Amino acid sequence: MSALSLPSRIVLATAAGGIAVAALVHIAMMFLHVAPSNTLTKAHGAAVDDYVYPEYEQNWKLFAPNPLQQNVAVQVRAEVRPGDGGSARTTGWTDLSARDGRDIHHNLFPSHTQQNQLRRAWESFVGSHDERNRATGLRGELSERYLRRIAMGRLGEEWTAAGGTVARVEFRSVTTPVGPPPWSAEKISTKPVYRVLPWWPVTVDDLPEGASNQ
């Protein structure tokens, strides 16, 4: 340090101070996030959540007494009506989870959209609907709209490339249990289980901003 000029020492000291302050703020935010409810979190809980999510989300499922042992794939298909008034056609199933997986694989810096958007949307749907796929409140209706917007945002142009409009979409999940390791004596079925949702009509509100359903 003594060999550096005064301006260089000032720059280094300022940078070190800035890093120290940033580190202290980060530690404080993470502490408040995981700490029990207190006066600070009650007053500034929204600011803490805005800082934490989604980059620093604390997901402890891996360390839970019963860690996740399933692969869940979310798939969607659409009913497309041609512009000439002919018969509607139903597309094949598109595996949205597989597409996200391909985008993430070998990607050193995958986006949070690729990693979390679909997963969180599906978790929100499952948590706000009963076993018959009926919404249990306003949050359920919002989760349905969110899924439709994801489908139209990702596949709307692909579905309507040959013309026509998307009239309805249908989602399903494919849950496949992860088999036990070779050294385990545990026996489980790895047969996939399907959860098929009802057809949902597509409206203008389900289209991404600036997009058209044609």
Mean pLDDT by 10 residues, the chain (214 residues): 78 92 92 86 86 72 67 96 86 96 90 89 94 91 94 94 92 92 83 95 84 66
Q: pTM score > 0.75 for this model? A: no
Per-residue confidence (pLDDT) for residue 16, from 0 to 100: 92
**Rounded Cα distance, 109 and 105, in Å:** 10
pLDDT number for residue 190: 86
**pLDDT of the residue at 197:** 97
Q: Residue 58's pLDDT is what? A: 66
* pLDDT at res. 211: 61
Delimit the domains of the chain by residue range: 6-58, 62-206
A 10 A CB-CB count for 59 gives 7
